[in-house]
Chain A
Amino acid sequence: MDLGYNKHNKYHRLVRSILITIVSLLTFVLIWWLIYYVANDPAIPSPIATFVALWELLEEGDPMTGRSLWSYVQASLTKFLSGFLLAMIVAVPIGLILGNFKLIREFTTPWIEVLRPIAPIAWAPIFILLFGYVRGATMVVFIGIVFPILTNIIFGVSKIDKVWIDASKTLGATNFQIFSKVLIPATIPYLMNGIKIGLGIGWMCIVAAELYATPLGGLGYYVANMITFAKFPEAFAGIIVIAILGLLTTGVAEYVSKRVSKRMGMDA
């Protein structure tokens, strides 16, 4: 079948990928509808009921309290961003120190390896008890993001080409200058990789942590609340919003990290 498609034409390639995405999403909705039809259970609402609920959520906010969708999104995003910033502030310097000093790294590796595999959400009850609902959820995000960033920076430091350090020494660089002018720029692509992985995990954490939360909560709280009152289409609408925001954050991270890698002339 000749559609006049030319893979060397940028516009053709764009149209092609948009078409594939649309068909893919339509198929997804079709499968969803089939599951709804076969399962015949109120816990699985139909796509149409869900989109209607989503529309109402956008227009009128929470059907029970009247809170706007935006205020839920804001509540989630605030926690997400503060958890992310906190993780950066902690992980970047510690990662650089652990990457550079073998003794400290060897000493702390058991701690990291014990703490790292724990699912972040397992901390949620403890953190909420310790820090309250809002800060507790923020800390769960922090735990989810901090390890990927940390391990990626340590890995990045270990990947630094020794010859760059030799070259800077023969150009007279002091240890501090080697640190600031070679080590830090050379680890940035790895940092970006850590951020990319961390954002995905962080977004999962925030929603999960909010399932515990009070009316101050964000989208996770909204979904949990709707399910408690058996408003399944409304719950699904909330899940769709969560998915879209998750896609946006990882998309932004992906784009930025690609730009950084290109600019730095290196891949992590």
Chain B
Amino acid sequence: MKPLLKTTVAALMLTIAASAGAFAATPKDTLVMAYVIDDIISLDPAEIYAFSDSEYQANTYDHLLVLDLKNPSQLLNKAAESWSVSQDGKTFTFKIRSGIKFQSGNDLTAEDAAFSLQRYVILDKSPAFILDQFGLSKDNAKEKIRAKDASTLEIELDKAYAPSFFLNCLTYTSSIVDKKLVMSHEQNGDLGNGWLKTNYAGSGPFFLKEWKPNESLSLVTNQHYWGGVPKIKRVLIKNVTESATQQLLLQKGDVDIIRNMTGDQLTTLQKDSNVKIVSAAKATLWYLALNTKNQYLAKPEVRQALKYLIDYDGLTNTLFKGVGKPHQTILPDGQLGASDALPYTLNVDKAKDLLKQAGVPDGFSITMDTTNKTQTMELAQAIQSTWAKAGIKLEIKPADNKETLTKYRARQHDIYVGQWGSDYQDPHSNAEGFATNKDNSDNAKTKPLAWRNSWDIPDLTTEVYAARDEMDSTKRAAMYQDIQQKVLDNGPYIVMFQQIETAAVGKNVDGFILGPTFDLNFYHDVVKH
């Protein structure tokens, strides 16, 4: 027994000694990123609606237009070399850039662009509503979205819309797929959806190499990209769900970028000289939703009182330090007409007054459904302690994100704490979400946030749609200012922060870009020294 044991141990030690230090650091030409990518459930652009999948299609497909990050109210022409709109404002014409080739070698033409846009509407998956709102539907998509010739695309809308609004929506829904390749995999009239869910048919700066769901996503550079070939040759994104593990990987140099830092980690890594922090305000808001079905929350004075019972400053300096900035209106900074008013501060006396006016001077008991992620839980606990100062007993109910969301969508909550991200960078996205409620009944066809909180607002709803249709940008902005004020005064929401997305990047890596939405996070400028 003994000699065998000795030999085994010796062999093991030798192996360890031989390998120590021989670990492959990240290769010079590969960007390695640790990121939670378990929200990717399909690679078909016509289905993509979440975060990391939006980022994926932004880096691997060409779009007609893209937002100019340096000047967010402007658009950059990409696959569309130029665009124009008809006299009656209903028909948009795009000249498709020539010389763009798909990975397959096929040329990118207006036919591919038309096909790609039609797919969004016909397949009618989650992002379809962004185009549907312009009067496009399964029945008319092929007629209204058409390729006049190989380089001209026409889209006919149901009426005139502000070009900025329509084009903005288009930036999110114009990933151009290779029609010939996709249709060669069509089954049962699915327009290739079954195949494209796990495959790739694009022309962007990066091609898909492999997607292992919840494990990794690897991309390889398009060496013939018309917009300039990226310097790095490969991108490898590893799904690492534990933030502490992400940090260790970065500090050892085994990954170049990490994306899911907690507030504490941000503070630590900011002091680390081997790492730099990249951040960008996102069009995502942290808010509390107050269900006006609840007898207390039905009273406007109570809702106001609660708005005065949040320690905005305290939270900004602690829990949300670096990862959130104070914001109290429903339109995030960066969108047309967004207001940065911060009317509410922590004021316990004022809150108590308001509660007295509402007839509940001694407070009341109420529940809050909370996703059991650390940051959300800590926020809930902070709120619980300030509310207690005015006699409000808050019971926190933690559960998995999907469970709390299910309850919220069914109007079964008292209070819900969470985030809301804009679908596109136009004010209509959030205005529609927060300030419209076409039908407050239980059988309503649309169930936006106002519906979830039983906020019955026929007049405000009309105002929001009028603002959407207003062609003059200045007038439009003014209308949104009014809408935001109305929501601030009366709405069943307490908006607290605008999210700041942060990433920690190795000091030898430059050019990683974070934009206001996830489809504006780019890898194409990354350089490793």
Q: Do A and B bind each other?
A: no
